[in-house]
Amino acid sequence: MTNGKVGIAISGAGWVAHAHARSWLKNPQARIVSVNDIRRERAQQMAAEFGLDCAIRDNFDEVLADPCVDVVDVCSPSHLHAQQGIAAAQAGKHVLVEKPMALTMEENRVLRDAVAKAGVKSLTSFVLRWNPAVQTIKSLVDSGAIGKVFFIETDYWHGIKPTHHAWDLHSKRKTAGNAMLLAGCHALDALRWLTGDEVVEVEAVGNNQKGLFEYEANVVAMVKFRSGIIGKTSTLLDCEMAYTFNIDVAGTEGTIRNNRVWSKKLFPGQTSWTTFPTVLPDSADVSHHPFDAEMAHFLECILKNRESHCNVADAYHTHELCIAIDRSIANGGRPVRLPLE
């Protein structure tokens, strides 16, 4: 901490990093002290764009050795997240890591254990937990407005094409993992976050309609939760439509369909759906994502010595679910039990 401000190091100065930087700059409790990128000129450009007075680097070890750095904000490509997150934790830095934080169960476990051993704070960037519609749905479910939840569905439908700036990385197994790790993890995280429950069994099938990805681009999975809740989730990367994130939750006293509510408890005289005005999560644009609230939450966790509900120990389970779904697809849709290890 310098002058009472938490020192932030951004690792990887690409698209999402610019959105992170905008949010850090809005927060008076944070100061960006370092930007690093394997392509140094990218770090330089970003610092110039935001008028940052900070260290510019292409060497990640220098970031770890810098005493002004309190938080390493890992915005590099997905296949580097676990190794940078683990190294940051081992250097005693708090870790904010973009999704997916790991591409294999081994990376998932080692990152979780490294953060726990170092005793640093962590946050995995499942940014939809701060989306206003998701927050309202969570509040309605937790307050019992729809009674006891027995079904949930979440869907991530976003056609990703070869024109995407990160196509070479996103389309390959080695650097993206699979459709769930690349993108559907947001939908899987919403399943867990909104129910407050863990999945114990999955059955999944997938296809690759356009043959552009090295893995199944389109996936549907049936899930069973510990409490008996049943659910469904799908990820469509081959779809032709505007980005859509769908949430349905059914309970014994009502139902929520995105921002539409049916609740015998709240509206006993209801004759049609009640709609609440909000910001839906229906955009893939990082400038639409609620990073301001996410960063403010993480700073509060650090300054008040609290654990985040979205720390790597929690996100471990979302990543485990992504990998379980991939294993079920590889096994012809046969059920896979969780936990995997």
Ligand X SMILES: NC(=O)c1ccc[n+]([C@@H]2O[C@H](COP(=O)([O-])OP(=O)(O)OC[C@H]3O[C@@H](n4cnc5c(N)ncnc54)[C@H](O)[C@@H]3O)[C@@H](O)[C@H]2O)c1
Q: Which residues bind ligand X (CB under 6 A)?
A: 11-17, 36-39, 42, 60, 75-78, 80, 98-99, 125, 127, 165-166, 286, 289
Coil, helix or strand at residue 241? coil
Q: Could you tell me how far CA 58 lies from the centroid of its own chain?
A: 26
Task: Output 37 or 314, the one with its CB closest to ligand X.
Answer: 37
Closest approach of ligand X to the CB of residue 35, in Å: 10
Whose Cβ is closer to ligand X: residue 21's or residue 221's?
Answer: 21
Q: Nearest distance from residue 309's CB to ligand X, in Å?
A: 16
Under 8 Å CB-to-CB from 268, ≥6 apart: which residues?
none
Nearest approach, Cβ of residue 98 and ligand X (Å): 4
Which residue lies nearer to ligand X by CB, 84 or 263? 84
Report the DSSP pairing between strands 94-97 and 218-225. Answer: unpaired
3-state SS assignment for residue 121? coil
Nearest-approach distance from CB 330 to ligand X, in angstroms: 22
* Min CB(18)–ligand X separation in Å: 8
**What DSSP letter does each residue of 249-268 carry, written as one string?**
EEETTEEEETTEEEETTT-T
Pick the closest to residue 245 from 300, 313, 292, 187 (CA basis): 187
CB 169, min distance to ligand X, A: 7
Q: State the nearest-atom distance from the C-beta of 15 to ligand X, in Å.
A: 4
Whether the Cβ atoms of residue 280 and residue 79 lie closer than 8 Å to each other: no
Phi, psi of 181 (to 5 degrees): -70, -40
The C-alpha atoms of residue 329 and residue 326 are separated, in whole angstroms, by 5
The pair phi, psi for residue 195, each rounded to 5°, is -90, -25
By beta-carbon proximity to ligand X, the closer residue of 78 and 263 is 78
Nearest residue (CB) to ligand X, 7 versus 251: 7
DSSP string, 280-325: -S----TTTS-HHHHHHHHHHHHHTT---TTSHHHHHHHHHHHHHH
Strand partners, 72: 9, 95
94 vs 99, beta carbon nearer ligand X:
99
**Element (H or E) spanning 256, and its range?**
strand 254-257
Q: 45 or 208, CB closer to ligand X?
A: 45
- Please tell me the distance from the alpha carbon of residue 239 to that of residue 17, in angstroms, as a whole number: 27
